[in-house]
Structure 1
Amino acid sequence: MGPAGVGKSTFCASLITHLRLNRRSAFYVNLDPAAEQFEHQPDLDIKDLISLEDVMDELKLGPNGGLIYCFEFLMENLDFLTAALDSLTEEYLIIFDMPGQIELYTHIPVLPTLVKFLTQPGALDIRLCAAYLLEAQFVMDRAKYFAGSLSAMSAMIMLEVPHLNILSKMDLVKDQMRKKDFKRFITPDTTLLDDDPTDIARRKAGVQVDVHSSDPKDKDALMSGATFKKLNAAVAGLLESFSMVSYLKLDSTDEDSVQAILSYIDDVIQYHEAQEPKELPEEEYEEE
């Protein structure tokens, strides 16, 4: 899960490639009714049930309203998922690739209902791990980083399933920030606002802006105003008080990085504990 453009489908593709190289079974479910291109063709695609383009054309809805309608339609036709997933064994890692509309993870109750359906005992009974991706480049803008972290915490509280928060696209920022400095962003805290590079640059330039007296159309003035700083401090304080959000680092181009994330996912869903012990054939046992 995560906002648009954070690399969800890229991570899914890297994960599937890694699983296949290690001879593990994967079942890829695309739940983005607007997705068109895939590195690995989905085993189950929501567009076979309903597509965003058709909804927008027939019902004259916008992209956000159309996507919500698609998920409501899916909830009315859950046998679409059951028919495909019910026969899968515990050896399969089922990967759900979600859309990027943030509304689904914050205040619309569709996803919690879907999660309950997938996890309820006696039916599919799937052990879920929610992986929420946030682009690592957000750390270059403290306000954007805290806003993204707040959305991650909102998704954690709403879905109520084991949850991993991941900073994606690490390959794009590794040359822009020292490792020592980057470690401070693994767990959000209010001290990050004390040395915001943007504020430091403004102070060095002698820029002092009072948001209450500035032009409301002047974005730079608004972003440097006292009210905006108080808002960021309040968000940072909220995250620090709950102490729920911390991040793993992901570089989808690095197989070791993908394996590290997969190891966390396996632990969360207790993948290895669910596997049946494999007995060696008698002749191999005798040779050993």
Structure 2
Amino acid sequence: MVFGQIVIGPPGSGKTTYCNGMSQFLSLIGRKVAVINLDPANDALPYECAVNIEDLIKLSDVMIEHSLGPNGGLVYCMDYLEKNIDWLESKLRPLLKDHYLLFDFPGQVELFFLHSNAKNVVMKLIKKLNLRLAAVHLVDAHLCSDPGKYISALLLSLSTMLHLELPHVNVLSKIDLIESYGKLAFNLDFYTDVQNLSYLQNALGQDPRAAKYRKLTKELCDVVEDYSLVDFTTLDIQDKESVGNLVKLIDKANGYIFASIDASAVEFSKIAIRPVDWEYYKYPSLY
């Protein structure tokens, strides 16, 4: 039985930086980690990659050959990967004996709540390779500073959870930078617990640009509350306690904590994470 994480989230949410920091942390607590890059547009990897989709297909080649834009090209690449799932299986099998897997997926959100290709890839791997995976959905914490953007993030998280049908952990990433975007309207607990969204509707209603969408906003908030599925944990990728707490949640989600693996006995308090590339972390679009 092999455990791992499906790392997803919108562009700029810190997925690649997360995979880099998480792989360091897990290695230091005694787990053998393999990072699998399934983003054909990610050609500036800060981590050592065990499997790279660019060995199978490159987004730049697809865009040129088929006259597609980035979004259409990524959908094509995921479709191509699904049709060539045997290639990915053959690359993963040598890692199944003793590795913990981190899958770094593209940031195109449509792949995870609209199209079925990415989901089909994950489900085939789970079935054929007996994987135990949890989805880690990263959302940039700065969205909390704007009620409209935060509601959008809630809907995206809910849609992704329902579509993927995996154990799911929603994460507000870059929480260490949240103060740089201004004072929040409510305490941080309000944004992580996702309760009493009526207060958020009132805050949004004070914006004259959003006043005419008040009824729509209420209906969207009601949808999120009716499902009662979405909540968030926070993450500062350079804080060992923050990363350690997230690892504990993920271990419960994918079942790792229930497996008889000695690595789980290592104390997180003894771990130090090497600094990540802050420039990449803050401004991923420049790379």
Q: TM-score, normalised by structure 1?
A: 0.82
Q: Are 1:34 and 1:51, in contact at CA under 8 Å, matched by a contact in 2?
A: yes
71, 87, 102: which one aligns with 1:80: 87
Aligned equivalents of 1:272, 1:139: Cα separation in 2 = 31
Using the aligned pairs only, state the percent identity. 33
- 5+ residue gaps, structure 2: 1-7, 264-287
Q: Where in structure 2 are the equivalents of 1:1-288 lying within 5 Å?
A: 1-89=8-96, 91-120=98-127, 123-174=128-179, 176-177=182-183, 181-188=187-194, 189-196=196-203, 199-200=205-206, 223-226=209-212, 228-275=213-260
Aligned equivalents of 2:98, 2:198: Cα separation in 1 = 44
Residue 115 of structure 1 deviates from its aligned partner by 2.1
Q: Are 1:34 and 1:52, in contact at CA under 8 Å, matched by a contact in 2?
A: yes
Partner amino acid for 1:36?
A: D
Partner amino acid for 1:70?
A: C
Q: Over aligned residues, Cα RMSD in angstroms?
A: 2.0
Aligned equivalents of 1:113, 1:7: Cα separation in 2 = 24
Q: SS in structure 2 opposite 1:253?
A: coil
Cα pair distance change 1:70/1:135, threshold 3 Å = same
Q: Are 1:91 and 1:275, in contact at CA under 8 Å, matched by a contact in 2?
A: no
Residue 229 of structure 1 deviates from its aligned partner by 1.9
Partner amino acid for 2:259?
A: A
How big is each residue's C-alpha offset from its partner over 1:65-123, in whole Å with a ceiling of 9 and x where there is no partner? 11111111111111121112123346421000011111101111112211220111xx2
Q: Are 1:90 and 1:274, in contact at CA under 8 Å, matched by a contact in 2?
A: no
Q: TM-score, normalised by structure 2?
A: 0.83
Q: Are 1:129 and 1:269, in contact at CA under 8 Å, matched by a contact in 2?
A: yes
Q: SS in structure 2 opposite 1:34?
A: coil
Aligned equivalents of 1:43, 1:155: Cα separation in 2 = 26
Q: Are 2:173 and 2:235, in contact at CA under 8 Å, matched by a contact in 1?
A: yes
How big is each residue's C-alpha offset from its partner over 1:173-232, in whole Å with a ceiling of 9 and x where there is no partner? 146447971111113242232442x655x5xxxxxx5xxxxxxxxxxxxx3332x22222
Aligned equivalents of 2:178, 2:73: Cα separation in 1 = 34
Partner amino acid for 1:225?
A: A
What residue number does 1:205 align with?
none
Partner amino acid for 2:193?
A: T
Partner amino acid for 1:95?
A: L
How big is each residue's C-alpha offset from its partner over 1:13-49, in whole Å with a ceiling of 9 and x where there is no partner? 1101111222211010001100011221211010010
Aligned equivalents of 2:164, 2:231: Cα separation in 1 = 17
Q: Are 2:145 and 2:185, in contact at CA under 8 Å, matched by a contact in 1?
A: no
Q: Would you say how many aligned residue pairs link Structure 1 and Structure 2?
A: 254
Q: SS in structure 2 opposite 1:86?
A: helix
Partner amino acid for 2:68?
A: L
Partner amino acid for 1:250?
A: L
What residue number does 2:280 align with?
none
Aligned equivalents of 1:236, 1:93: Cα separation in 2 = 37
